Amino acid sequence: MARITASVYTSHVPAIGAALDLGKDREPYWQPVFAGYEYSKQWMKDNKPDVICLVYNDHATAFSLDMIPTFAIGTAPAFPVADEGWGPRPVPPVIGHPELAAHIAQSVIQQDFDLTIVNKMPVDHGLTVPLSLMCGQPPADAFQWPCPVIPFAVNVVQYPVPSGQRCFKLGQAIRKAVESFDQDLNVHIWGTGGMSHQLQGPRAGLINREWDNAWLDQMIADPAACAQVPHIDYVREAGSEGIELVMWLIARGAMADVAGGKAPLVKHRFYHVPASNTAVGHLILQEV
């Protein structure tokens, strides 16, 4: 039986990817950001999953205004790295897990979630920056990510986006789906994006350290209550792009304690301001 053994949460700021790709990670501006992931890279080596179900949002890359699905699951064998206008990031293509992805799609749709099944999709910084942060940059002589990844894209670009509550329930549905897969697989679920940031208008640059950390406390200790936080609170308190945090609730909803099991261990927690326009948040929860 496949099982979810951990959930990982991290911001996916594009400038972090650019800093890594341009070799700026030792510069004083970036050093504190990457220092926050040193533990995580070792933890990834020590707790290597067979598959990562990576929840992220597409940033007008694969999905233009012609069509934006609310929830989309990538079922392809591989996903190319997108050119977002600056050229593609020099990172490996993402290898998928079509069998598990198709299984999750079937199960989750039968649990009343409308997933769009995607067989062709470039993946942008929303997906590749978390991989870079957690795995480091793959060297030229072993140019691949450590395991297959199932991209799970959530619309947080075109409002209204799914509510925290709906994301939390979707995570629970994904857990059931994974546990009904016959193959013995160690699965991670990652929730990405956030924390507080606003990229637009005269309020651009908003950061709310206090709100971010209170939200994190609640998401860890009482996720059901955290899932009740309405959209407007994210927009008002964490900035228009802070709404990305609803994606973290998908990963949190997939943990055992939500299904009546034991609470996960907090293996690592990190928070830093700024990375470009954004407050960086990061968390690792491991099942006991």
Catalytic residue list contains 125? yes
What phi and psi values does residue 208 have, to the nearest 5 degrees?
-135, 85
Shortest distance, position 274 Cβ to other proteins, whole Å: 4
Residue 241, classed as helix, strand or coil, is coil
With 0-12 / 13-18 / 19 or more C-beta atoms within 10 angstroms meaning exposed / middle / buried, residue 68 is middle
| 1 or 217: CB nearest other proteins | 217
Shortest distance, position 105 Cβ to other proteins, whole Å: 26
The helix-helix angle for 14-21 and 125-135 (nearest 10°) equals 50
Q: What would the two tokens of residue 154 be?
A: 């959530």
Shortest distance, position 134 Cβ to other proteins, whole Å: 22
Q: What would the two tokens of residue 227 be?
A: 């899932």
Q: Are 168 and 223 in contact (CB under 8 A)?
A: yes
With 0-12 / 13-18 / 19 or more C-beta atoms within 10 angstroms meaning exposed / middle / buried, residue 201 is exposed
Q: Residue numbers of the site for other proteins (CB under 8 A)? A: 14-15, 18, 59-61, 64-66, 83-86, 157-160, 196, 198-209, 211, 231-232, 235-237, 240-241, 273-274, 276-277, 279
| 11 or 198: CB nearest other proteins | 198
| 4 or 13: CB nearest other proteins | 13
Q: Are 152 and 250 in contact (CB under 8 A)?
A: yes
How long a stretch of residues is the chain? 288
| 176 or 236: CB nearest other proteins | 236
Return the bridge partners of 81, or none: 123
- 12, 197, 272, 282: the catalytic one is 197
Q: Which of 96, 104, 72, 258 is nearest to 181 (CA)?
A: 104
What is the greatest pairwise CA distance in the chain? 52
- 12, 103, 125, 282: the catalytic one is 125
Catalytic residue list contains 197? yes
Q: Which of 196, 218, 220 is nearest to 274 (CA)?
A: 196
| 42 or 158: CB nearest other proteins | 158
- Find the Cα–Cα–Cα–Cα dihedral 119, 120, 122, 123, rounded to 10°: -10
Shortest distance, position 220 Cβ to other proteins, whole Å: 22
Shortest distance, position 239 Cβ to other proteins, whole Å: 8
Q: Alpha carbon of 134 to those of 37, 129, 244, 279: distances in Å?
A: 7, 9, 19, 17
Shortest distance, position 27 Cβ to other proteins, whole Å: 13
| 206 or 255: CB nearest other proteins | 206
User: Active-site residues: which are they?
Assistant: 125, 197
